[in-house]
Amino acid sequence: MAIIERPAPGTTLVPALAPSAPAITPARTFGALRRPVATTGWKSWLFTVDHKKLGLMYGATALFFFIIGGLEAVLIRLQLAAPEGKVLNADLYNQMFTMHATTMVFLFVMPMAAGFANYFLPLQIGARDVAFPRINAFGFWCLLAGGIVVNLAWFFGGAADGGWFMYAPNSGPVFSPSHGVDFWALGLQIAGIASLTGAINLIVTVLNMRAPGMTLMKMPIFTWMITVVQFLLLFAVPVITVALFLLTFQRSFDAKFFDVAAGADPLLWQHLFWIFGHPEVYILVLPSFGIISEVLPVFSRKPLFGYPFVVFSGAAIGFVGWGVWAHHMFASGLGPVSVAVFSLATMAIAVPTGVKIINWTLTMWGGKLVFTTAMKFAVGLIILFTIGGLSGVTHSVAPSDTQQTDTYYIVAHFHYVLFGGAIFGIFSGFYYWWPKMFGKMLNERLGSWNFWLMVIGMNLTFGPMHILGLQGQPRRMYQWTEARAGEGFFNLGFWNLIASIGSIILTLGVLFFLINIVVTARSKVRAPLDPWNARSLEWMTSNPPKEHNFDSIPHVNHLDEFFHRKYEEDPTTHTMREVATAEQVLAELEKNADAHIHMPSPSYWPIVLAAGMPVVALGVIYSIPVAIVGGLIMLYAIYGWALEPATAPAIDHDESSSNGHNGHAVGASHG
Amino acid sequence: MFKVGSKLFLGTTGFAAVNLVAYLIFVERLAIGGVALSMLFAALIGVSAAVLMINDGDDETQPRDTALTRASMWPLIAAVGLVLLVLGLVVSQLYFIFGGIVLVAALAEWMVQAWSETASDDPAHNEFARRRLLHPIEFPVIATLGLGVVIFSFSRIMLAISKNAGTVAFMVLSALVLAVGSMFAIRPALKPALVSGICVIGAVGIVAGGIAGTGAGLRPQLAEAAAEDHFSHRECGPEKAKYFDKKAMKTLSLRSNVAAVIELRDGKLTADVYGFTRPQQQVSVPRANPVTFIFRNFDSAERRMVAYLGTAAAAMPVDGEMAGKHGDTNETCTQLIPQGAEQALTITYNKPSIAQDNDKPFTLTVAGLEGQAIEVVVP
Amino acid sequence: MNHRRSTEPHVTRRFSLSRMRRTPLSRAMVRATTAVGAVVGLGSCATNAAQDTWQPKGPNAKMIDDLQQPIFAVAGIIGIIVFAAVSYAIWRFKDRGQPIPEQTHGKPALEITLTVIPALILAVVGVFTFRVIFDLAKTDDTELVINVTGQQWWWEYDYPAQNEWGITQPIITSGQLVMPVGTKVLLRETSRDVIHSYWIPALNGKRDAVPGRIHTLRLEADEPGIYAGQCTEFCGLSHANMRMEAVALSKEDFATWVANQQAAYQSPAEGTLAKEGESVFLNQCVRCHQVDGLKRPDGSLAIAAPDENVWSGAAPNLTNLMTRNTFAGAMFDLLRDACRDDVWNAESAEFGAKYLAGVDEACLNVNDLRAWLRNAPEVKPMYANPALLADTNGKYRGMPNLGLSESDIDKLVAYLLTLK
């Protein structure tokens, strides 16, 4: 639906699952194309352009792939639990670790961050939707299509088996004869569209659609970090797209980009991959930094310590992140000058990262710490990420890195960074924002189990890998041999076994989260309006928010606007006292509700356009005519999209509903 | 009862009947003319009957159409397309295809226009509907075509004029585009007609230039190069080859970490092998692996490096059959390069040195320079 | 401005350690942490792990180790400081019903100090790193050059002619890199197919072998012995089985080894099982495997043509096979376990003699060798089935199943034992 009437008084206190919509009879667009109008049921999800629904779909997709990627990881650990493992054969093992990394990076952490960004960024800046709602929907469907294509290879003769870094020439048709790499390259190109469109969309949204009074330096820190990430995506994704494009041409059309005999240099791929790949690390971890920078102040009852430092260190990481890619290539034979330069740049990037850890610690310092599950995960992130960061410093030292790279020490390092950093932040976000998204609180008791099992499991899994790596166990080996495992009780066999046991405990921890979701969904207890005594704008609306997010767009005077509407400083003691409850703040907003709100209308075209892409991909792999069919589907969808106005015109709606024209139209009318 | 149309057709029918009878009586019976006239007569009877039956197509009970059909260019374009189509049958297939595309496009536009004019009573809405439907197709297609024509024309100009003139033309043109663009940017209030006029003049100028360029043909050097197969003239002697050595100075070999750099200095050939401190006379390379040598010429004469690849098919240059053999010797070479220049040569040695006749090992030599050779050892 | 001044002493007081020492619980925790730390730090590692990066056995690896040990220590100390600070904050500022604190937004001076300190630490680290990077890249003090070529899934070593080492004609071998001790050896690495990485942790860090490029790696061993390594750039199916061993011999022993490698080929005596094995070898193996000096019955040299059968164009040269201790890309030992342990664990003074003794019938690891000859792809994953190799025009990658009969295998083993 496109036009929302002023909500009935009181709806702010009674969360509505489906916003009540006025009756709509859409006109056919030029006699042929009737646009979707469903507000409930599966159609309301398939054709939605609502940033919140898309955010949830991003999240659900990501969670699904998290389970897939996790099971792949468990299989890897089972294979390596004992010497000469027989759980998987060499071929399957290679596919497994390739797909584990691909899934976790491209299909879990990135979309999960995109989900949180989609859901909360417009809420945090007081907007009613993103700038380009249909492109937003298109992005999500591309991600899903890409994820499906990448995984489809399992059923078509084996998944990609070259490692997620897919170094040439091992990724060529001769060395990887199954179609796995083709599916991988094409699937990731499709999924990359999601990142690119999402980046443009969110950047435009942040720059243009902030609530009145919200200057950039009053923006919530999560929004800031997401913005930095979108800029990273905007510049990094084209690089990997080019690389994947070259790879696809090499494999499907006999191009010679990485063919040494034809005069090529295989290091080209490594440069392309890591120019994307290193910013990608920050793309993965900065959203989580943003999440815990929201969570820590809320549960410390204190503002983020050194907000400008956190903002600028985030931006600095974003910039310097472009100058460190070759630290993944210290052993590649770049020559001492390049190695030295990149070694120093890598040390430099440790500084802004360290600033964040200091700021988080000082945010807690002197606060009033409430250890909810969200807070536990946030504190867990500080500790675990510090370990990962420090092991990272040890291999910014290039000579030392030549001993460590491609061993389990690196595996330990980046799992502390990505599991301890990115995933702990995401789980913190789950617990913190669940009541906002679903109107129900995740069970804290189960949450505690979830947290402690994950912390113990994660440390048991990845901690021993430091020892394994430093004692010389390389990565990506489908078997390890006892002959090189050393002697003594604490030999490499022991630590491999511990790591495998740890992975089971970790799985149990994740299982508790899944159980928690089910328990919470079945519970009838509704969350209070402001369960955490939160600080930012996304809490200044109902749980879950109404389709139009805010009854009236708040005017922002403070960083932590919501908190400052609830509390005032006592001039003598400098402590804070409550002056209004959340309900009162909301009632105030509702009093000034906008009468007539134009929201973007649902559309068929994003999903149809995205559906054409896997057809093209399959066609490129198997038969060009199929690709032409896919192209025609896309052409049809683009045409339909171009014909359709973003917001259905007023004639689409009942006469009775267009009685007032003093409505507040949001800027979400493009795209 | 009889209206104008009915009268006309009935009259014509009568006239045809008279004619037929006259022809049969006065000219001849059972001739082709008689058949034709009787056919015409029959047809006219049919038409007259039809016109009579529908009362000249006049329906007094319905109100007359008030909205007049607007002017349209599609009939004209469709006719042009049709002419091209027919002409193509005689002249060339290209015309036929082009005519077909024009015809189909014009008919499609015609149809949509015809539909839109009766879509509703509101002419403004009708025009809006037409635009909404067709602009998503028209704009990209016309833009692509227009840009394609301009770019193609420009490429014809650049191919026709000499290299130096090409540089000048490019600079002048880009300066012009920049100047005009800046003018548009500075004066946003410029009349749209003026802006489009300037653009059209520019485009027409380029297209005209392109047509002239096509008429003039390729510049001589390009024509010569197009007529030759580059590799068919590869020669490894000390003398300058007519085609193979063209512009050798401009060939770069920006490759790092090669197997060896072969240097010619003061009449001596040495190999600088990465890892050895002293210059070598022997290079050991792995079997069955593409290896790259760089040849640097510090001699004042123009020189080329020649790689002797053995008697059997023991080694081959990477470009395989294109390079081919020269007579009985299996060899490949760089271009003739002047002092200070360098060139790379990539070779795969598939057989070990022991497979060779001992007197003739794999070597790297310089054409026209006796007694200097770098031996390539393949273990 | 006001409240900033007022909170500063507040924070300092909270930070004081004296408060912490007073609680017995925290004292116990500190002790426990120290104990656990000591156990984790020192006692929890394997002893004698073959590829331990913290046990350098040569000057290059020592240079790296001397650089990294202080960095690990500093990183550990910083880590402990952060844990302590976070733990203290958790314990001290837990919600005990205290009022909501003042909404301070930070202290720029403190921030800048805490930014500059790590930057300074890293600057110091950077200076030392710089020096070691350039020291490790030196090539002008090389004493012996060895070419190393990686291929799926084994390494080829060839020694270019270097008269000062008695190498008058190139030596080619595989499986084990043999080098003299106390000598600055420079590897010139390249690859025939995909990217591999050469890594002997006890001697130096790793360096990728990239097709079309030559990369150098310095190696130097202090003591005679065998140093294990492993390919560390993912290179396909049998990446895990692409191992290497660097054998360091005293200079005299190395000269003996060189002389033996250059000795002329000796055909087995007529009428022996080994002689029959030679003809099996000529029929089956010489399609890919070169044995220098081996002649066909008609007197012509047998030249292997692996480029016609194997995608990457080469197969290990088997001349002097029995002077090596491994086969199949160092995946299997040529020596039985007892004999292998005897060599690996030998005192450095005796090592050379034991290694140069090579492999004799009593010590030969017959089981693995016969299994390999019977069906190689079964014991080492390789893309050896031409039916699945449309993309390589039917060329193998690795050794195919030759379908040899048991008696052929008997003969071949007897023949291979003569390649000393």
Is-contact A51 A129, C-beta < 8 A? Answer: yes
What does the alpha-carbon distance between residue B157 and residue B155 come to, in Å, rounded to a whole number?
5
Ramachandran angles phi, psi of C191, nearest 5°: -140, 155
Mean pLDDT calculated for residue range A620-644? 90
Indicate the range of A334-343, A359-368, B59-68, C317-326 predicted with least confidence. B59-68
Identify the contact set of chain C against chain B, taking CB-CB distances under 8 A.
139-140, 142, 145, 147, 149, 156, 158, 160-161, 170-172, 186, 188, 190-192, 211-216, 290, 292, 301, 303, 305-307, 312-314, 317
Question: What are the tens digits of pLDDT across the range A362-398?
Answer: 999 999 999 999 999 999 999 999 999 999 999 899 9
C162 bridge partner residues: C167
Looking at the DSSP assignment, which residues form a beta bridge with residue B91? none
Sign of the dihedral defined by the CA atoms of residues B19, B21, B23, B29, in that order: positive
Contact A414, A389 (CB under 8 A): no
Confidence of residue B94 (pLDDT cuts 50, 70, 90): confident
Residue where the block lists tokens 């292997």 = C304
- Classify A51-546+554-593 by CATH class: mainly alpha
Dihedral angle of Cα A213, A214, A216, A217, to the nearest 10 degrees: 90
Q: Where are the beta strands (DSSP E) in C130-285?
A: 144-151, 154-159, 171-174, 176-180, 185-191, 196-198, 207-209, 215-219, 225-230, 243-249
Which chain C residues are within 8 Å of B291, Cβ to Cβ? Answer: 190
Q: What's residue A9's pLDDT?
A: 43
Name the range with the highest mean pLDDT among A296-310, A568-582, B346-360. Answer: A296-310
Q: Which residues have C-beta within 8 Å of that of residue B263, sequence separation ≥ 6?
A: B269, B270, B271, B272, B279, B296, B298
Give the model's pLDDT for residue C390: 78
CB contact under 8 Å between B288 and C171, yes or no, is no
Nearest to A170 among C47, C63, C235 (CB): C235
- pLDDT of A401 > 90? The answer is yes
Residue to test with chain C: of A317, A390, A536, A575, most C Cβ within 10 A: A390
Residue B32 is predicted with a pLDDT of 74
How far apart are alpha carbons B178 and B180 in whole angstroms? Answer: 6
CA distance C61 to chain B (A): 19
Q: What is the pLDDT of residues A27-77, one digit of tens each?
A: 555 545 677 877 788 888 999 999 999 999 999 999 999 999 999 999 999
- C238 has a pLDDT exceeding 60: yes
Cβ atoms within 10 A of the Cβ of B7, count?
A: 13
Asked if residue C220 has pLDDT above 80, the reply is yes
Say if residues B88 and B98 touch (Cβ distance below 8 Å).
yes
- Please identify among residues 258-277 of chain A the ones whose CB lies closer than 8 Å to any CB of chain B: 260-263, 265
- Gap between the Cα atoms of C316 and C172, Å rounded: 9
Contacts of A478 (CB under 8 A, 6+ apart): A79, A85, A88, A89, A90, A93, A94, C239, C240
Inter-chain residue contact A475 with C210, CB threshold 8 Å: no
Determine the Cα–Cα distance for residues B177 and B182; give it in Å rounded to an integer.
8
How far is it, in rounded angstroms, from Cα B202 to Cα B195?
11
Hey, is C135 helix, strand or coil? helix
CA atoms within 13 A on the CB side of A219: 26
Which class for B35: exposed (0-12), middle (13-18), buried (19 or more C-beta within 10 A)?
exposed
| Burial class (CB within 10 angstroms; exposed 0-12, middle 13-18, buried 19+) of B295 | buried
In chain C, where the domains are located: 2-136, 273-324+359-416
Interacting residues of C195 by C-beta distance below 8 A, sequence separation 6+ = A167, A169, A170, A266, C208, C209, C210, C211, C233, C235
Among C158, C214, C292, C317, the strongest candidate for a mutation testing the B interface, having the largest count of B CBs within 10 A, is C214
**How does DSSP classify residue A311?**
H
| Residue C149: both structure tokens together | 């070529």
Tokens of A61: 């997709």
By mean pLDDT, which of A447-451, B53-57, B109-113, C112-116 is the weakest?
A: B53-57
Mean of all residue pLDDT scores within chain A: 89
Number of Cβ within a 10 Å radius of residue B169: 16
Report pLDDT digits (tens) over C116-150. Answer: 999 999 999 999 999 999 999 998 899 999 999 99
Those residues whose C-beta lies under 8 Å from the C-beta of residue B220, and which sit 6 or more positions away, are none
**Pick from C154, C159, C246: which is nearest to C209 by CA?**
C154
Confidence of residue C397 (pLDDT cuts 50, 70, 90): confident
DSSP assignment letter at A84: T
Task: Tell me if C240 and A477 make a contact (CB, 8 A cut-off).
Answer: yes
Q: Which pLDDT score, from 0 to 100, does residue A618 have?
A: 95
Residue B293: beta bridge partners?
B260, B345
Handedness of CA B10, B16, B20, B23 (dihedral sign): positive
Q: Does domain C2-136 have CATH number 1.10.287.90?
A: yes
Whether pLDDT at A6 is above 60: no
Query: What band does C20 get if pLDDT is binned at 50, 70 and 90?
Result: very low
Report whether A65 contacts A103 (CB < 8 A): yes
Strand partners, C245: C176, C228
Q: Which of A256-265, A290-299, B156-165, C12-21 has the highest mean pLDDT?
A: A290-299
Which is it for strands B331-333 and B305-308: parallel, antiparallel or unpaired? antiparallel
pLDDT of A70: 96
Lowest mean pLDDT among A287-291, B20-24, B319-323: B319-323
Tally: H helices and E strands in chain C? 13, 12
In contact, C205 and A403? CB cutoff 8 Å = yes
The 10 Å Cβ neighbour count of residue B137 is 16
Which subunits count as partners of chain A given 3+ CB pairs below 8 Å?
A: B, C
β partners of residue A369: C94
- Give phi and psi for C148, each to the nearest 5: -125, 125
Q: Are the C-beta atoms of residues C100 and A368 closer than 8 Å to each other?
A: yes
Per-residue DSSP letter, A532: T
C2-136 against C273-324+359-416: fold identical: no
Q: Which SS3 state, helix, strand or coil, does residue A363 take?
A: helix
Task: Give the span between the Cα atoms of A602 and A3, in whole angstroms.
Answer: 12
Of A598, A594, A632, which is closest to residue A613 (Cα–Cα)? A632
Cross-chain residue pair A262–B318, CB shorter than 8 Å? yes
Alpha carbons B307 and B373: distance in angstroms, whole number: 10
Distance of CA A205 to the CA centre of its chain: 18
**Does position B33 have pLDDT exceeding 80, yes or no?**
no
**Peptide bond before residue A532 is cis, with ω within 30 degrees of 0:** no
Give, in degrees to the nearest 5, the angle at Cα C50 between C49 and C51: 95
B201 Cα to chain A: minimum distance (Å): 31
| C-beta separation of B267 from B369 below 8 A | yes
Could you tell me which of A262, A27, A145, A16 has the C-alpha nearest to residue A609?
A145
The full set of domain ranges for chain A reads: 51-546+554-593
DSSP of A228-247: HHHHHHHHHHHHHHHHHHHH
Residue C326 pLDDT:
94
pLDDT value of residue C14: 36
Q: Residue C311: is its pLDDT beyond 50?
A: yes
> Cβ neighbours of residue B128 under 8 Å, at least 6 residues apart?
none
Q: Is A671's pLDDT higher than 50?
A: no
Q: How far is A39 from chain C (nearest CA, A)?
A: 43
Bridging pattern class, strands B268-272 and B315-317: unpaired
Task: Output the six-digit token pair for B28.
Answer: 């001849």
> What's the per-residue H, E or C state across B56-85?
HHCCCCCCCCCCCCCCCCHHHHHHHHHHHH
Q: Count CA atoms closer than 13 A to B240's CA, side-chain side.
A: 11
pLDDT score of C73 more than 50: yes
Average pLDDT, chain B: 82
Chain C residues touching residue A471 (CB < 8 angstroms): 45-46, 49, 51-54
Q: Is the pLDDT of residue A144 over 80?
A: yes
Cβ atoms < 10 Å from Cβ of B57: 9
d(CA A525, CA A534): 20
pLDDT at A141: 97
- CATH topology for the C273-324+359-416 domain: Cytochrome Bc1 Complex; Chain D, domain 2 (1.10.760)
Task: Report the distance separating Cα A58 and Cα B234, nearest Å.
Answer: 60
Instruction: Say if pTM beats, i.e. exceeds, 0.90.
Output: no
**How far, in Å, CA of A552 to CA of A593, rounded?**
5
Substitution target in A29, A30, A33 with the highest count of B β-carbons within 10 Å is A30
- For all residues of chain C together, what is the average pLDDT? 87
Length of chain A: 671
Tell me the percentage of chain C whose pLDDT exceeds 70. Answer: 90
Residue A527 and residue A13: Cα distance in Å, rounded? 11
Which of chain B's residues have a Cβ under 8 Å away from the Cβ of A333? 257
**Cα atoms found within 13 Å of the Cα of residue B1, Cβ hemisphere only:** 1
Q: Are residues A516 and A446 in contact, defined by beta-carbon separation less than 8 angstroms?
A: yes
Tell whether B284 lies on the interface with C, counting CB pairs under 8 A. Answer: yes
Cα–Cα dist A663/A598, whole Å:
7
Q: Give the residue from chain A lying closest to B317, CA to CA.
A: A261
**pLDDT confidence of residue C38:** 54
